[in-house]
Amino acid sequence: MRIRVVNPNTTRAMTDTIERCALAVTGRGTLLDAVTSEIGPASIESHYDEAMSVPGLLAAIARGEADGVDGYVVACFGDPGLDAARELAVGPVIGIAEAAMRTASHLGRGFSVVTTLGRTVGRAADLAEHYGMGRFCRGIHACEIPVLALETDPDARKIVTEACRAAVAQDGSDAVVLGCAGMAELCAHIRDEIGVPVIDGVAAATLTVQSLLRMGLRKSGRGEFAPPPPKTYAGLLESFGS
């Protein structure tokens, strides 16, 4: 099986981190690669960034379909363009926020989300409600580290770890969901430090796609997630028409 992880931002260094974390959990018989969006923002930290990331994500999904990819991971915690990507792909497309939250719900009565900037808290809350995870999500907390600073700030690991520790204490949570793909490599360290399950959505989504494919499951082609009706697009989006 072939799985492709799509980083919807344009920062290759972040894609490399994501790819390492995804490869660490794949087993034999799975070919996995990670790609960086060719158009869009350097990082996704606002509704505007998220909207601007979707064309690049969809272009990556379309290339994957032409390449014979079996399933996809959308590696941004906002799960941008997830429904549109599911229309384009034949196989499963899983967002890291949905996968992480669902995984956390299996491990205890409630989880906390620790994300990057305070302005992204509302989006995480919306997703928890959308996915039916609101009753499990006990709190969403920002550590106020910009996405790209997760790899450059020497204090990032300590700051995120302490934010996770404080979230568990404040919320009485049984698990922590890391609210950014750029936090993926911190997962094991934080778990060892705070003593509760810590879920990295990249790993959770990768294994979800792999499990679905191993069960022989693909996307239903009926109704809402059938391929989008062909039509022309104008201007900068002309190439997205069919």
What are the extents of the domains in the chain?
Answer: 2-96+203-240, 97-201
DSSP strand pairing (175-178 vs 111-115): parallel
Check if 2-96+203-240 and 97-201 are the same fold.
Answer: yes
For each of the chain's 242 residues, which pLDDT tens digit applies?
A: 999 999 999 999 999 999 999 999 998 899 999 999 999 999 999 999 999 999 999 999 999 999 999 999 999 999 999 999 999 999 999 999 999 999 999 999 999 999 999 999 999 999 999 999 999 999 999 999 999 999 999 999 999 999 999 999 999 999 999 999 999 999 999 999 999 999 999 999 999 999 999 999 999 888 999 999 999 999 989 999 87
**What pLDDT shows up at residue 28?**
86
Domain 97-201 top-level CATH class: alpha beta
Given the structure tokens 């049984």, which residue do they identify? Answer: 174
Task: Provide φ and ψ at 184, rounded to 5°.
Answer: -55, -40
**What pLDDT shows up at residue 242?**
73
CB 174 within 8 A of CB 73: no
**What pLDDT shows up at residue 27?**
83
Please name the residues in contact with 219: beta carbons below 8 A apart, sequence gap of 6 or more. 86, 89, 90, 91, 92, 93, 225
In CATH, what number does 2-96+203-240 get? Answer: 3.40.50.12500
**What pLDDT shows up at residue 89?**
98
**What pLDDT shows up at residue 221?**
84
